Amino acid sequence: MIIEESEAKFKFCPLLKTADDKMKMCQTTMCMMWRWADDEKEKGYCGLAGTAVQGAK
Ligand code: SF4
């Protein structure tokens, strides 16, 4: 899923949980798994599941 960083911040991360076991949001550029999809750094994706397919929604 290639999306803007501002949108990714409202998607759940499959790895992160709070102390009371609730899911946490994506940390975007604060996470080593975040990957930019374009040179302008306007859109990116979580690299955890491999390379995102361009054009996929
Ligand atoms: S980029 Fe990092 S914080 Fe965001 S969903 Fe992927 S692993 Fe979680």
Whole-prediction pTM value?
A: 0.87
Residues lining ligand 1, Cβ inside 6 A: 13, 15-16, 26-27, 31, 33-34, 46, 48
Rounded to the nearest angstrom, the distance between the alpha carbon of 23 and the centre of ligand 1 is 12
Confidence of residue 51 (pLDDT cuts 50, 70, 90): confident
Q: What angle do CA 17, 50, 44 make, to 5 degrees?
A: 75
CA of 32 to the centre of ligand 1 (A): 8
> In the predicted model, what is the mean pLDDT of the chain?
92
In this prediction, residue 55 carries a pLDDT of 57
> Predicted confidence band at 52 (pLDDT cuts at 50, 70, 90)?
confident
Helix-then-strand count for the chain, H and E: 1, 5
For residue 6, is pLDDT > 70?
yes
